[in-house]
Amino acid sequence: MQENDRGGAEFQYHNALREGRFVIQHCDGCGLHVFFPRVVCPHCAGTSLRWVEPSGTGVVYSTTTVRQRAEKGGDYDVSLIDLDEGVRMMSRVEGLPPGEVRIGMRVRARIIEEEGTALVVFVAEEQQ
């Protein structure tokens, strides 16, 4: 499925999340996966991008703890996740205290709804 503009690609990505589906793009030109949604493949400049459902598994590439007051929800994790398909995305690892999230940890994606918005978050595979 090709996109006419980047806004359309982003809309399709978020719409799929609202339907409970996590999707990324795959370029038919070079065979590589693409994330965040785009109109043109950043690898080969091809325009034949289609939506695919990734395995949802990956590893923590980088992690940090964002500190905030308890009345604002307390500390939380922000991590860069390298999906097994070769793309990197920013998200968070849930189900563990933020300080226990480790680089190299295997994680699995989940879709949650937060304040009316569907989001992709991750949990450690050993917690499954």
With CA atoms as reference, report the closest residue to 92 among 53, 126, 125, 60.
60
Does the domain spanning 57-127 belong to CATH 2.40.50? yes
Query: At 126, is the pLDDT very low, low, confident or very high (cuts 50, 70, 90)?
Result: confident
**Distance, CA of 29 to CA of 86 (rounded, Å):** 16
- Assigned token pair, 28: 């038919």
**Distance, CA of 116 to CA of 118 (rounded, Å):** 7
Q: Is the pLDDT of residue 5 over 70?
A: no
- Bridge-partner residues for 118, per DSSP? 113
- Residue 83 per-residue DSSP state: E
Q: Where are the domains of the chain?
A: 6-52, 57-127
pLDDT of residue 1: 38
**Distance, CA of 122 to CA of 93 (rounded, Å):** 5
Residues 91-104: pLDDT tens digits? Answer: 999 999 999 999 99
Quick one: average pLDDT of 60-67? Answer: 96
Q: Is the pLDDT of residue 16 over 50?
A: yes
pLDDT of residue 2: 43
Q: Is the pLDDT of residue 60 over 80?
A: yes
Start-to-end CA span in the chain (Å): 33
pTM (predicted TM-score): 0.86
